[in-house]
Amino acid sequence: FNFIGFTRGYLTILVAHIAFCIPFAYLPIQARMQGIEDTFEQAAQDLYATKAQAFRRVLLPMMLPGIIAGFLLAFIVSLDDFIITNFVKGAGVETLPTAIFGSVKQGIRPNVMAISTLLLAVSIAMVTISYFVSRKDNSA
C-alpha cells in the first residue's frame, strides 16, 4: 500500500478485507442466481414493471437467501482474518480481532471473555436469522 501512496489505516484494512472476502460472498450469491430463471423477470416486465421494479420486487427477494449467506461467510472470514489485518493496519489502529489478540497475550481477562461472548451471540443471531429467511423462502 505504501507503493501506491496509501497510508496504512482503516482504509487499507477495508480494501484488503474487501479484496479477500469478495469470493466468499460471490459463491452463494452466484449459486442462488443460477437457480433463478429469466422467465420471472420477463413476466414482471410483461406486467409493465420497469427493470428496476422487476429487480426490486421479483429478483431481489429470490436472491435474498444467497445475499445473506454471502454476507455471513464474508463477515465470519473477515472477523477471523487477524493476519491480513495485522499486515495492513497502521500504527495506532486497532480492530476488534487485533485488540482481542493483544489482550490475550497479556493474559485472559474478563473483558476479553465478555467480548468473545458477545461475538458468539451476534454470530448465533445472524445464523438464526439466515435460517428463518431461507426457511420462509423455501416454504413460499
pTM of the model: 0.69
29 in a structural domain: yes
More confident residue, 40 or 136: 40
49 assigned to some structural domain = yes
Q: Please give the distance of CA 119 from its chain centroid, rounded to a whole number.
A: 15
State how far Cα 113 lies from the chain centre. Answer: 24
- Identify whether 111 is part of a domain: yes
Q: How many domains in the chain?
A: 1
CA 13 to CA 10: how far, in whole Å?
5
Residue 5 within a domain: no
Residue 3 lies in a domain: no
Domain assignment of residue 64, yes or no: yes
Cα gap 27→67, rounded to integer Å: 10
pLDDT in tens, 10-53: 788 888 888 888 988 898 889 888 888 888 888 888 888 888 88
pLDDT digits 0-9 by tens, 64-119? 888 888 888 888 888 777 777 777 777 777 777 777 777 777 777 787 788 888 88
* 56 within some domain: yes
Could you tell me the residue range of the domain that residue 78 belongs to?
A: 10-139
